[in-house]
Amino acid sequence: MGQLSFSDVDPRADPTLRETTFVVVDLETTGGRASGDRHDAITEIGAVKVRGGEVLGEFATLVDPGRAIPPQIVALTGITSAMVYDAPRIESVLPSFLEFCRGAVLVAHNAGFDMGFLRAAAERNQVPWPKPPVLCTVALARRVLTRDEAPSVKLSALARLFGASTTPTHRALDDARATVDVLHALIERVGNQGVHTYAELRAYLPDVTPAQRRKRHLAHSLPRSPGVYLFRGPSAEVLYVGTAVDLRRRVGQYFNGADPRTRMKEMASLATAVDHVECAHDLEAGVRELRLLAAHAPPYNRRSKFPHRWWWVTLTDEPFPRFSTVRTPRTDSAVGPFRSRADAFDAAALMARFTGVRTCTNRLGRKAFHGPTCPEREVSPCPAVRDADAQTYAAAVADARALIDGRDGRPLAAALSHIADLAERNRYETAARLRDHAAATIDVLWRGQRLRALSTIPELVAAKPDGDRGWHLAVVRHGQLASAGVAPRGVPPMPVVDALTAAAQSVLPGPGPLGGALVEETALIARWLGQAGVRIVRADAGYCSPIAAAGRWAHWAATARSARLAAEQLSASRLGSELLGEPHPTREQLFGRPGVDRLLRPRETGLPRGNPLGVAG
């Protein structure tokens, strides 16, 4: 006799799909970041409860996100800040919504997005998350439909394919109703393949190759602790590096179809072994991952593999320095990194323009003067003072170094003032281009100044609550993680701190930006230090940003990015060409009448035979 299933013991434990209650939910939000320090918020919830093809109820409400809705989101959804002004907050809506969903399977199109926002909102508001079963119609559509039948699995495309009764409009309830029709059509398809219960549907979803199934034993020996894992190939080469809170569970997902990416299936099929490094907490795991990526450059990882391919902007070492874009700067006073040389060049041009650093490329000796060999141009002239000797020119170089180090923000203030002046003179396209360059430059300057402030501290010890009355501890030296550990609940943390400090790695800063530390490692540590609840236990020097850092314009840069996204969306929909373009007056506006010298009036012939001295004659 075979092993009994739940349905053999209790038929109600394995209901058919027709007997299963589904709650199809859709959210509208202010952006795509569900968690973190600058997380986005929910603006609307729409849900439809169905069973056996019948609608049992609907749930719909606007939600006050507690902040202004970005213009690009307003253009996409039509939900404005005024519409949600009197709406309830998420802490009031979430308990009612969870009660509406009790006992049902939650369904969403791209469920990871919607469930991520709901879980994060529950965590922030101390609302217990019931961990309901979740079904993603994107994953189901990719499993059921061929690419020839459905090249795109977007909700709008599937709604057209199945003839949904409701058209998706980027409003929560409309999209939820459209998803109901898509769900029913997909369930009808799988029913023809012998899938009749929810348990059978869950087993049907993973698209696992036989090669993946044969490798499932590789995850069995891994611990259920946080750490880093390395997939190795037939020649012991590193194929892929990743981090996990639970190593065994995460690695096992590569062999059970939970990760639908084709390249991950290929990687799992090639793997012959999985190595791991247990870590004290998520920060140590993230740092070790970055270091392993830089060391091995695994072929199946897409990020952080080639930090030496980035571009930097630095001042040249000569009597008349100028900005130069380089791969490996030799000084700490560098701006970057940039992913493309074009972005680095734009930032260098903007900084040179408002600091007075020359852009001409002539080599000038110590006793030379700037100007005689510098070509005079009306368009994009060299911003340096002409006929200046090295001592006079040194003032502009000092301003540039002060801007990079965060000791003088006047060049950025001048750039923003110039952008405002261009807009007042109706030169909108020129102002928009300069705005985009200024926003990108502010972002990279502010990031570099924050990271440089951390990299100059010889030693910093920080602690973060672990959620169970214990502490995650980190020892940071010159922007690099030197040691990590945990002080569980009931263990005095300071003796653990002393032990970690004594055993910490010695870090000697080298030449180059951040003393030779990986930029992404220092950035990861800075983000960790900025999380809620993190405490600085001790530091050899003060941890602070420069007094005139670019951070004071960070909000302006964020607003500029939102304006650029809104302009792109308006341009794509062909609604904003007249509003965003510079004025192009018509011929009649310029000359006051049609034609030239009244020779081409309406209904007149093109050749004015009676006027041989006219333009046409």
Mean pLDDT across the stretch 112-133? 91
The share of the chain scoring above pLDDT 90, in percent, equals 45
Specify the DSSP element, H or E, that contains 42. Answer: strand 42-51
Predicted local distance difference test score (pLDDT) of residue 32: 86
Predicted local distance difference test score (pLDDT) of residue 371: 77
Contact (Cβ atoms closer than 8 angstroms) between residue 208 and residue 248: no
Distance, in Å, from the CA atom of 220 to the CA atom of 255, rounded to the nearest integer, reads 11
Short-list 219, 212, 220, CA closest to 255: 212
pLDDT at 609 over 50: no
Predicted local distance difference test score (pLDDT) of residue 528: 93
Predicted local distance difference test score (pLDDT) of residue 307: 65
Instruction: List the catalytic residues.
Output: 170
Q: Are strands 227-232 and 273-278 parallel, antiparallel or unpaired?
A: antiparallel
pLDDT in tens, 493-526: 999 999 999 999 998 888 888 888 888 899 999 9
The share of the chain scoring above pLDDT 70, in percent, equals 88
| 409 residue type, one letter | G
Distance, in Å, from the CA atom of 235 to the CA atom of 233, rounded to the nearest integer, reads 6
Cα–Cα distance list, 42 to 123, 130, 139, 371, 616 (Å): 14, 19, 23, 58, 66
Angle, alpha carbons 422-427-429 (nearest 5°): 110
Ranking 202-206, 236-240, 539-543 by mean pLDDT, the lowest is 202-206
More confident residue, 448 or 375: 448
Mean pLDDT across the stretch 387-402? 90
Half-sphere exposure of 508 (CA within 13 A, CB side): 1
pLDDT in tens, 554-588: 999 988 888 887 777 766 655 444 444 444 555 44
pTM over 0.75: no
Cα 93 to chain centroid distance, Å, stands at 28
Mean pLDDT across the stretch 418-447? 91
Q: 219: which residues sit within 8 A by CB, 6+ positions away? A: 248, 251, 252, 254, 255, 274
Q: 161: which residues sit within 8 A by CB, 6+ positions away? A: 149, 150
Predicted local distance difference test score (pLDDT) of residue 360: 86
Distance, in Å, from the CA atom of 225 to the CA atom of 280, rounded to the nearest integer, reads 9
Distance, in Å, from the CA atom of 366 to the CA atom of 368, rounded to the nearest integer, reads 6
Contact (Cβ atoms closer than 8 angstroms) between residue 55 and residue 49: yes
Query: How confident is the prediction for the chain on average, in pLDDT?
Result: 84
Mean pLDDT across the stretch 314-325? 90
